[in-house]
């Protein structure tokens, strides 16, 4: 008989610590399996956002350089567009992007008359159209001369006879998380000089 007067209880056994450690490892593995997809999605979202900012910065630099070249050189717009699109790394401008150069002339009322619009004769994604103005004439070798007078309002009023160039660049950005976010954004930049 036991000194405390209890019969048949035997000794109480405490499970070994190895068993508890194995059990804790199993719980940790299940928790990781549940949380890992969310963490990966969050990491891909941060990477996507960073890439989108980088690509947008490249587009802004492309339009600024294009407007500078169009306004200050005698190079043909087709040459300027090809040079810019070919050197726009890391963007694939020839397959997922497009650029337009629009030449405007000021009118007496401060609005702008479209004189001509240019796009690359080959390359570029044709479904990306100009957000500023779409030439109503026919395209031939990357040049469109509008039918009649096509007038637009620019953010700044122009003097009568003043000539300005507007350079637009667009890019269909493909998200790394495109399976979660169904709509793909189109990045856009515009510089008028």
> What gap in Å lies between CA 104 and CA 108, rounded to an integer?
13
Residue 103 belongs to a domain: yes
Residue 55 belongs to a domain: yes
For the chain, what is the mean pLDDT? 88
Residue 150 belongs to a domain: yes
Residue 12 belongs to a domain: no
pTM of structure:
0.80
Residue 31 belongs to a domain: no
Report which of 192, 114, 110, 115 is spatially closest to residue 159, judged by C-alpha positions: 110
- Residue 21: the pLDDT is 65
Residue with tokens 């337009």: 100
Domain that holds residue 114: 43-192
Residue 34 belongs to a domain: no
> What gap in Å lies between CA 42 and CA 142, rounded to an integer?
42
Q: What is the domain count for the chain?
A: 1
Residue 171 belongs to a domain: yes
pLDDT in tens, 45-75: 899 999 999 999 999 999 999 999 999 999 9
Residue 173 belongs to a domain: yes
């Amino acid at each position: 008989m036991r000194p405390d007067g209890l019969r048949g209880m035997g000794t109480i056994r405490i499970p070994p610590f190895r068993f508890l450690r194995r059990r804790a490892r199993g719980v940790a593995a299940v928790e990781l399996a549940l949380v890992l997809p969310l963490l990966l999605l969050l990491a891909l979202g941060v990477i996507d956002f960073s890439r989108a900012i980088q690509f947008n910065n490249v587009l802004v630099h492309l339009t600024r350089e294009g407007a500078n070249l169009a306004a200050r050189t005698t190079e043909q717009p087709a040459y300027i567009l090809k040079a810019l699109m070919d050197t726009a790394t890391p963007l694939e401008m020839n397959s997922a992007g497009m650029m337009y150069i629009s030449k405007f002339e000021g009118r007496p009322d401060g609005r702008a008359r479209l004189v001509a619009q240019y796009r690359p004769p080959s390359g570029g994604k044709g479904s990306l159209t100009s957000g500023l103005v779409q030439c109503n004439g026919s395209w031939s070798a990357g040049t469109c001369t509008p039918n009649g007078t096509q007038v637009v309002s620019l953010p700044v009023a122009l003097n009568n006879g003043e000539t300005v160039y507007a350079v637009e660049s667009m890019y269909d950005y493909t998200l790394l998380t495109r399976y979660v976010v169904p709509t793909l954004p189109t990045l856009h930049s515009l510089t008028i000089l």
